[in-house]
């Protein structure tokens, strides 16, 4: 069946590629995804999904199959912007097909995963590949600005509660089982303004905060390292000030920290380390975790602290066993097991809500957000076949291990 499944995808390759090119050509910045969400909804309905709906946050959810078991696949539909279109080799919003690759903003991050998921759902339905199980394909929104918030809404508001989620973020067709977490921090100091011609009468907030920059760089060098997830990082990504004018001593200065959290690190431990580093540099400052309060495309504001926890799937987890089995049966070799360098919706799915998450996606993550972003067509074809084969492999693996999902054993 698995060899026939891959052949079936190849027979329909043009339809898959055409749809992917179409949605790549639809601009969908975070908060502006409505048009691509509606197009994905149409494709799900045309593929014969049993149920398709858009939730209050703006995520589109489509179901094939029925029964008590529930698993889900996820692809976010928003993209980062394009600031250098004239330096691309093609228009980033045409979905150009060239030399076996599809080019455009969002091609790899991650509309390729969405296209492969929908066409896999159609195959699951047509071939009757699962019994007693609902398979949900989720096109999520606002991930680029607030990774995981979409799934925090889905799980917190009980839109869906799967026993497992497969993230289709790019993995270069490896099986990914985790990622470092992420924490945003704001560090600010207050000063006193005076005329720039008489700085001695003021208290320069920039001068007071400036020693924090090398102190935080030094903190980065001594952060802990995990054998699987790698090292935690601490990076100053923005520094700004406020004052009456450019001819005045600034009375407020602030910097933004992007803190990547490896295994064993938390928001509390990261804040404490920053406080210690500032203290050593004699910087008296306020440290806070900002809140994300931007609306989704539906207008809904769903506030949350900008903390995105670290997560991993255990090496012996039944979902990873099932992924290996599906991969071997399709491609005749062992998959590589890895992890993401960047952040994904897994921070909410698994990190916040404890739902196991496995990653498998077309294309390479280092092409995300890059100029001339692209994805190989062959990767999209293989990902589609994997998504169609995985649910049955997972159900078989859980049955063999005695794990039957929520209420029937630990998975």
CATH number of the 181-292 domain: 3.30.70.360
Of the chain, the percentage scoring pLDDT greater than 70 comes to: 97
The residue count for the chain: 411
Q: Reduce the DSSP state of residue 181 to 3 states and report it.
A: strand
The predicted pLDDT at position 403 comes to 62
Q: What is the pLDDT of residues 311-342, one digit of tens each?
A: 999 999 999 999 999 999 999 999 999 999 99
Mean pLDDT confidence for 367-384: 97
Task: Assess contact for 63 and 51: CB atoms under 8 A.
Answer: yes
Mean pLDDT across the stretch 269-287? 98
The average confidence (pLDDT) of the chain is 96
Q: Would the pLDDT of 407 be above 50?
A: no
Q: Phi, psi (5° rounding) for residue 166?
A: -100, 115
CA distance 95 to 365: 18
pLDDT of residue 401: 78
Report helix, strand or coil for 316.
Answer: coil
DSSP secondary structure letters along 244-276? S-TTB--SEEEEEEEEEE-TT--HHHHHHHHHH
CATH 3.30.70.360 domain range(s) in the chain = 181-292
Q: Which pLDDT belongs to residue 402? A: 73
Domain 2-179+310-401 has CATH 3.50.50.60: no
Q: What is the mean pLDDT of residues 244-267?
A: 97
Burial of residue 203 (CB within 10 Å: 0-12, 13-18, 19+) is: middle
Q: With 0.85 as the threshold, say if the pTM is over it.
A: yes
In contact, 373 and 104? CB cutoff 8 Å: yes
Residues 6+ positions from 51 with CB-CB distance below 8 Å = 61, 62, 63
Percent of the chain's residues with pLDDT above 90: 96
Q: What is the DSSP string of 203-259?
A: B-HHHHHTTHHHHHHHHHHT--EETTTEE-EEEEEEEEEE-S-TTB--SEEEEEEEE
* pLDDT at residue 285 greater than cutoff 90: yes
pLDDT digits (tens, 9 = 90+) for 81-116: 999 899 999 999 999 999 999 999 999 999 999 999
- What pLDDT does 1 receive? 60
Confidence at residue 404, expressed as pLDDT on a 0 to 100 scale:
56
pLDDT of residue 411: 31
In the prediction, which pLDDT does 408 show?
A: 31
What residues act catalytically?
78, 143
- Enclosing H/E stretch for 156: helix 149-156
Residues forming CATH 3.40.630.10 domain(s) in the chain: 2-179+310-401
Which 3 state secondary structure label does DSSP give 97? strand
By 3-state DSSP, what share of the chain in percent is helix, strand and coil, each rounded to 5? Answer: 35, 25, 40
| Cα gap 205→391, rounded to integer Å | 57
Task: Say which residues have a Cβ less than 8 Å from residue 314's Cβ, sequence separation at least 6.
Answer: 177, 320
Please say whether the dihedral angle defined by the alpha carbons of residues 91, 94, 97 and 103, taken in this order, is positive or negative: positive
Q: What pLDDT shows up at residue 108?
A: 98
Torsion of CA 16, 93, 176, 75, to 10 degrees: -70
- Residue identified by tokens 């029937």 is 408
Per residue in 122-165, pLDDT (tens digit) is 999 999 999 999 999 999 999 999 999 999 999 999 999 999 99
pLDDT at 362: 98
Q: What is the pLDDT of residues 221-255, one digit of tens each?
A: 999 999 999 999 999 999 999 999 999 999 999 99
Question: CA dist 180 to 200, 227, 261, 313, 345, Å?
Answer: 45, 12, 5, 12, 12
pLDDT tens per residue, range 2-29: 668 999 999 999 999 999 999 999 999 9
């Amino acid at each position: 069946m698995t060899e026939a499944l891959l052949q079936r995808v190849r027979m329909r390759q043009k339809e898959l590629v055409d749809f992917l090119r179409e949605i790549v050509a639809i601009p969908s910045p975070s908060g502006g995804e409505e048009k691509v969400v509606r197009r994905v909804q149409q494709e799900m309905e045309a593929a014969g999904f049993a149920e398709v709906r858009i939730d209050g946050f703006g995520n589109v959810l489509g179901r094939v199959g029925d029964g008590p078991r529930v698993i889900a696949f996820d692809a976010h539909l928003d993209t980062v912007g394009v600031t250098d279109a004239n330096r691309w080799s093609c228009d980033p919003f045409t979905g150009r097909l060239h030399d076996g690759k599809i080019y455009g903003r969002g091609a790899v991050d991650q509309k390729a995963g969405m296209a492969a998921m929908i066409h896999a759902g159609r195959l699951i339905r047509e071939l009757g590949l699962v019994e007693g199980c609902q398979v949900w394909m989720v096109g999520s929104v606002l991930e680029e600005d607030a990774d995981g918030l979409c799934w925090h809404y889905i799980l917190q508001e009980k839109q869906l509660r799967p026993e497992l989620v497969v993230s289709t973020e790019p993995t270069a067709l490896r099986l990914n089982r985790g990622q470092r977490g992420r924490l945003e921090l704001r560090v600010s100091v207050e000063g006193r303004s005076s005329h720039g011609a008489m700085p001695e009468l003021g208290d320069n907030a920039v001068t007071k905060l400036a020693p924090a920059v090398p102190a935080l760089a030094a903190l980065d060098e001594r952060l802990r390292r995990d054998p699987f997830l790698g090292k935690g990082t601490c990076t100053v990504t923005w520094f700004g000030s406020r004052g009456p004018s450019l001819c005045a001593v600034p009375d407020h200065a602030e910097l933004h920290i992007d803190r990547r959290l490896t295994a064993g690190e938390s928001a509390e431990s990261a804040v404490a380390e920053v406080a210690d580093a500032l203290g050593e540099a004699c910087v008296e400052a306020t440290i806070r975790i900002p809140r994300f309060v931007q609306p989704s495309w539906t207008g809904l504001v769903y506030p949350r602290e900008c903390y995105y926890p670290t997560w991993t799937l255990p090496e012996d987890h039944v979902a990873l066993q099932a992924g290996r089995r599906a991969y071997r049966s399709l491609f005749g070799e062992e998959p590589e097991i890895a992890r993401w360098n960047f952040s994904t919706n897994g921070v909410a799915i698994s990190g916040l809500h404890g739902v196991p998450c496995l990653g498998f996606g077309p294309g390479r993550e280092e092409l995300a957000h890059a100029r001339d972003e692209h994805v190989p067509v062959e990767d999209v074809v293989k990902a589609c076949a994997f998504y169609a084969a995985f649910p049955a492999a997972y159900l078989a693996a859980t049955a063999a291990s005695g794990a039957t999902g929520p209420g029937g054993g630990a998975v």
